[in-house]
Structure 1
Amino acid sequence: MKKISILFLILASGPLMANDNVPVIKPIPLIALKKKSDQYAGVCHAVENRCTESAKVWKEKGVGEGYYLTDSTPAIIKIRRVKNNYIKDGEWNFSQYRGTDHSSDGELNREEISVFPALYPINKTEQAVALVSKWSTAYSGGGRVEEYADFLILNSNGSHQLAFKDIPFSSSEMIRACFSEEDYAKNSHCHDESWSILNLKIIDEGKSYYSWKFITRSYNWPSFTDKSSVTVETSEQVKTPLQRE
């Protein structure tokens, strides 16, 4: 099945409105550290017994001095670097978090819940992470994958608060359209394919919370056609953190 790369698009930002004076806020990507690096060793020393096989260590991209450890629990731990010392500065555990059940159609099964490697500003002082749940099913010669994100505000006391719930994060589906050797011999594209990707834009309108614009681009590529036949549809929705529908 087509593997959708969403890292760049989910972190992209640009003008939300025609007013160029409205500040656009950029999410902070987290960059994975190599296991043999001194920074990796320093973080692991600060969080004893947490650098397990499933753990990954991250650093804020750019000039930020924040370090983070995520694991399959799932959980995220924040570490600060003070001179040459690494100090644990917060931990948020999501092991009891389940999110929305998407198995109602009888096809999809939950694969995993994971923390996406990025920090999303809620306002000038608070940040959120995306807890992404992955659901999938296999077809003969294809399959379907859907990912949904709950954006959770990280409170300083280790608790978290739901900012946005069940946001479609990405999806892909592949359905086989060739069933014989003759079919495969005649056609180079033997699947009906579709996929979608989320693009997030955050702006500061001077309110208590930033406005978030969720832009979903959905792609469709019919079988027996070349890639120029791909069609794109875009849907947009603006939401405010903690707003309840």
Structure 2
Amino acid sequence: MMIKKLMLSTWILFITLPVSAENSIQSLPFQKEDISVTEIRKICQQLESECQEINAQLWSVNIAKNKYYYLIEDKLRITQLLKQRGQYRIMEQWDLDQHQPVFAIQEDHESIIYLHPALYPLNKHSYAVALVYGGISNSLGDDSGEQNVDFIQLLPKGKTKLVFEHLPFYEYQNRLSCYRDMKDEKNNYCEDQKATILKISYRDVGLTYYEWRLSYLNINWLKNNKIDEYKQRSLTLIPFIQAH
């Protein structure tokens, strides 16, 4: 649906943008790689445990001057690869299944859990990934969802460490009135479409880990596709010291 696509693209835009051009510390969003099922199968064959190519996606990201590849599987496993002479070689592998949170959802909602395709800097040499979970509803007259996130540090030799847990990540709601003008694509808008989106910025304050500033933005889609945006609240956190 056009509305869902608009929301998703806006969500990714806000969550990965730095606060200003002067701040060089920022999240590193992955880029989706155009790769065949056969190539993914070859990567899967290098892994010790079972890997289904239909449930995996290859991504890439530039860190300093190097380009790294990450295979993310539905089973919450992420594998770092290096491409040499057209061949992918496994460098590291992390199984985040052990970090699966226990969470409750509303009765009419469907549970979801996935790894968001991005790296979040903890310091100059270490990154975390986002394990997102929650519930979504697509019932008649109410398309809504609420997601929380645990940030998990990726360490050498497949080790992981919980950084932050159960932080709000993304929330949206679309009422039935949003779809009344779908036939008129030129004037397609929604008076009852809103979302709360997370934006993260980082600051080096001379500690072992960067300071994280989490800002939650309320977004309302108005007539003629105009966006009304305002900041709801913000949190300042230091990794591994959670108080919110």
Q: TM-score range by the shorter chain?
A: 0.7 to 0.9
Q: 2: CA distance between counterparts of 1:84 and 1:232?
A: 46
Determine which of 52, 66, 69 is the counterpart of 1:67: 69
Contact 1:116–1:129 (CA under 8 A) maintained in structure 2: yes
Matches within 5 A, 1:94-173: 94-103=96-105, 105-110=106-111, 112-173=112-173
Q: CA offsets per residue over residues 216-236 of structure 1, 9 Å max, x none?
A: 1113458xx665694634311
Query: Matches of 1:119 and 1:189 in 2, distance apart?
Result: 33
Unpaired stretches in structure 1, ≥5 consecutive residues: 181-187
Partner in structure 1 of residue 18 of structure 2: 13
Check the 8 A contact 1:149/1:169 in 2, yes or no: yes
C-alpha distance in 2 between matches for 1:205 and 1:83: 41
Give the Cα–Cα distance (whole angstroms) in 2 for the partners of residues 244 and 26 of structure 1: 20
Q: 1:195 to 1:38 in 2, by over 3 A?
A: same
- Distance change in 2, residues 1:58/1:220 (3 Å): closer
User: Aligned AA for 1:123?
Assistant: N
- The equivalent of 2:236 in structure 1 is 238
Deviation at residue 95 of structure 1 after TM alignment: 2.3
Give the Cα separation in 1 of the matches to 2:209 and 2:113: 26
Shift of 1:244: 3.2
TM-score after normalising by structure 2: 0.78
Aligned-partner residue type, residue 78 of structure 1: Q
C-alpha change, 1:25 and 1:107, in structure 2 (3 Å) is same
Q: CA deviation at 1:137?
A: 2.0
* Whole-Å separation in 1 of the counterparts to 2:157 and 2:242: 24
Cα deviation for residue 243 of structure 1 reads: 0.7
Q: Which residue identity does 2:33 align to in structure 1?
A: L
The answer on whether the counterparts of 1:33 and 1:39 sit within 8 Å (CA) in structure 2 is no
Q: Which of 85, 88, 111 is equivalent to 1:86? A: 88
- Give how far 1:189 is off: 6.2
Distance, in Å, in 2 between the alignment partners of 1:76 and 1:94 is: 8
Structure number with greater Rg is 1
Q: How many equivalent residue pairs?
A: 231
The unaligned stretches of length 5 or more in structure 2 are: 181-187
Root-mean-square deviation (CA), in Å?
A: 3.4
> Letter of the aligned partner of 2:97 in structure 1?
S
Cα distance, 1:190 vs structure 2:
7.0
Alpha-carbon distance between aligned partners in 2 of 1:39 and 1:33, rounded to the nearest angstrom: 11
Query: For the Cα contact (< 8 Å) 1:46–1:79, is it kept in 2?
Result: no
TM-score of the superposed pair, with normalisation by structure 1: 0.78
